[in-house]
Amino acid sequence: MKTEGVIGIDIGSRSIEMVLWADGAVREEVKLPTTYDPLGQCRRILNGRRTEPIVATGYGRKLLAEAYPDRKVQTITEIQAYALGAAYLFPQARTVLDIGGQDTKVILLNGSGKVAKFEMNDRCAAGTGKFLEFMATALQIPLEEFGAFALRADKKISISSMCTVFAESEATSLMARGESPENIALGLHRAIVQRTLSMLDRVGKEPPLVFAGGVAHNPCVRALLEEALSFTPLIPQNPDMVGAIGAALYGGRVFSVT
């Protein structure tokens, strides 16, 4: 049974990430799909591990704390976790953008890596990974290929609605008028980036900007964001892991785990 270090776990709507922090560094990373049973997936990750403490973040953080009353489980907000994780990976970072499966977060950091201001869109799937997933399904394109598919577009078109239901209807109408699926896909990606830029305008977009979350894997969103910002965002090697890293760092500091 493993007993050293601290575990950070980020329970998101599409995936669960776990990080083991020990001896002053990230020693292990694990990622599983959330599925219909997030607690079951957490148990799979934690099986055979007696590492304590555990620091949980993400929408399912309270569920984990309630499920393990006999273990030292603490929870922190996603804003705290992503700020800590981004500042650890990129100490020079001043802005953090996270586009996940269910929400979008923009965090402005001060010179010491602390949260100065933030905004979180968690009331609607518009502008999130879930929106992209829904629209990829509507166009019958695998989600993992959707960004590259959109980059094959030969014309910029506008999608006026960010509501998944209305956007699907708009995409269907465009298809009926002969618009190519690639151009429609690009229009959908541009709509997401425009919504994200509105959040950045309200909170701040001071470089260096760290782009984290599952949508950071999407090459079209990355390209459009860079074009709009006029500078290149910093993208972690594993952008999904930023929240889990931040949770583990928090645990290490609070509980004096090196």
Q: Which fold has domain 92-235?
A: Nucleotidyltransferase; domain 5 (3.30.420)
DSSP 93: -
* DSSP string over 205-239: -PSSEEEESGGGG-HHHHHHHHHHHTSPPB--SSG
Q: 6-80+241-254 — its CATH code? A: 3.30.420.40
Mean pLDDT across the stretch 1-22?
Answer: 86
| C-alpha to C-alpha distance for 63 and 68, rounded to whole angstroms | 9
Please tell me the predicted confidence (pLDDT) of residue 257: 65
When pLDDT is cut at 50, 70 and 90, the band that residue 5 belongs to is: confident
Percent pLDDT > 90 in the chain is 65
Query: Domain-by-domain residue ranges, the chain?
Result: 6-80+241-254, 92-235
The predicted-structure confidence for 61-93, as pLDDT tens digits, reads as follows: 999 989 888 888 899 999 999 999 999 999 999
Closest by CA to 247, choosing from 113, 92, 94, 61, is 61
CA–CA distance from 203 to each of 78, 119, 234 (Å)?
17, 7, 18
Q: Which residue has the higher pLDDT, 150 or 127?
A: 150
Please tell me the distance from the alpha carbon of residue 225 to that of residue 58, in angstroms, as a whole number: 25
Domains 6-80+241-254 and 92-235 in one fold:
yes
